[in-house]
Amino acid sequence: MRLRTMFLSPVVVAAMLLASGCDGSKPLIRKKQGEQPGPFPAADRPVASIVSARWSTEEARDRLNEAGTVMKQAGIAPGMTVADIGAGEGYYTIRLSAQVGKTGRVLAEDIVAATRDALAERVARERLDNVSVRLGAPSDPKLPAKSFDRVLMVHMYHEIEQPYEFLWRLRPSVKPDGLVVVVDANRPTQAHGTPPQLLRCEFAAVGYRQVSTTEMPSAGGYLAAFRPVGPRPDPAKIRACRI
Q: Is 90:106 a contact under the CB 8 Å cutoff? A: no
Pairwise CA distance, residues 70 & 86, whole Å: 16
User: Crossing angle of helices 66-74/91-100, nearest 10°?
Assistant: 50
Q: Is the pLDDT of residue 105 over 80?
A: yes
pTM: 0.82
pLDDT of residue 49: 77
Q: Which tens digits make up the pLDDT trace of 60-93?
A: 999 999 999 999 999 999 999 999 999 999 999 9
pLDDT of residue 35: 59
Q: Which tens digits make up the pLDDT trace of 116-175?
A: 999 999 999 999 999 999 999 999 999 999 999 999 999 999 999 999 999 999 999 999
Pairwise CA distance, residues 131 & 94, whole Å: 9
Q: What is the per-residue DSSP string for 74-121?
A: HT--TT-EEEEET-TT-HHHHHHHHHH-TT-EEEEEES-HHHHHHHHH
Give the CB-side neighbour count of residue 238, counting CA atoms within 13 A. 29
pLDDT-based confidence at 29, cuts 50/70/90?
Answer: very low
Rounded mean pLDDT of 181-208? 96
Pairwise CA distance, residues 185 & 120, whole Å: 28
Sorted by where each starts, the structural domains of the chain and their CATH numbers stand as: 58-237 (3.40.50.150)
